[in-house]
Amino acid sequence: MEDKTRIGVWQVTETEEELKALTSVPSDELEEISFIRSESLRRQMLAVRALLDEMFEDKVYLSHHDNGKPYIENCVTNISITHTEKYVAVILNDNEDVGIDIESLSRDFSSVEKKALSEDEIDDLEEDEKRNGQLAIYWCAKEAIYKMLGQYDVNFAEQIEVEKFRPKKDGELEATFEDEDGYEEEFDLEYIIFDNHVLVWVVGN
């Protein structure tokens, strides 16, 4: 089947006012954004809207399910969104569920080892300067799968297993998700490292 996946990335360099001028944010959505206390987060939300304006020919209306998973009200496509202070990213696919996650490698990911990795994954960790980047890829991969599934209370360490990999500038990952009934589903993910950020995405089977 032809791959219908599209990914957009926006570097957030504009001011809040510049982003408002760039976008056609629906008034109710703009009001919600205005209540966000953090200026950085407001800019990220506006940058997401600017990116959506670039990716869609027609004006789209963004909303969220009760579980937090985003959807487009007036377009039948699957969407996942991620953002940091410097970048926002969106993935779209007309046919399959999708998930995407981005993180800055300036962040310390040491806590990920205890809260999100299995014993096998911990055994696979590097013991050098690549360790933090490897932990970041693990975290983004599990977050992307979690976002794609849209389920509550997923245990990252026990239910999502990422196969052994060596971090590179870009690459592919294999992962398995096990639901509460013991049913396993395998996923292929892709990642890229750029400008001290790691971006990971997954498309459902």
Name which residue leads in pLDDT, 98 or 153: 98
Rg (CA), the chain: 17
Mean pLDDT of 51-69: 90
Write down the pLDDT at residue 18: 96
**Whole-number Å distance between alpha carbons of 46 and 12:** 9
> Which segments of 13-166 does DSSP mark as H helices, in order?
16-22, 27-34, 39-55, 110-116, 119-123, 131-149, 156-159
pLDDT digits (tens, 9 = 90+) for 102-148: 999 999 999 999 999 999 999 999 887 889 999 999 999 999 999 99
Among 111, 99, 87, CA closest to 196: 87
**CATH architecture assigned to 6-94:** Alpha-Beta Complex (3.90)
Contact 100, 91 (CB under 8 A): yes
**Whole-number Å distance between alpha carbons of 23 and 163:** 40
Mean pLDDT across the chain: 93
Burial grade of 56 (CB within 10 A; 0-12, 13-18, 19 or more): middle
pTM of the model: 0.94
pLDDT digits (tens, 9 = 90+) for 164-192: 999 999 999 999 999 988 899 999 999 99
The vertex-179 CA angle with 101 and 138, nearest 5°, equals: 30
pLDDT digits (tens, 9 = 90+) for 22-44: 988 888 888 989 999 999 999 99
Q: Categorize the per-residue pLDDT at 1 as very low, low, confident or very high, splitting at 50, 70 and 90.
A: very low
Domain parsing of the chain, residue ranges: 6-94, 101-203
Mean pLDDT of 63-67: 88
Among 149, 170, 169, 172, CA closest to 160: 149
Kindly give the interhelix angle for 27-34 and 39-55, rounded to the nearest 10 degrees. Answer: 160
pLDDT digits (tens, 9 = 90+) for 140-149: 999 999 999 9
Write down the pLDDT at residue 3: 65
The CB density around residue 63, as the number of other CB atoms within 10 Å, is 11
- % of the chain beyond a pLDDT of 90: 79
Write down the pLDDT at residue 2: 47
Q: Are strands 78-83 and 70-72 parallel, antiparallel or unpaired?
A: unpaired
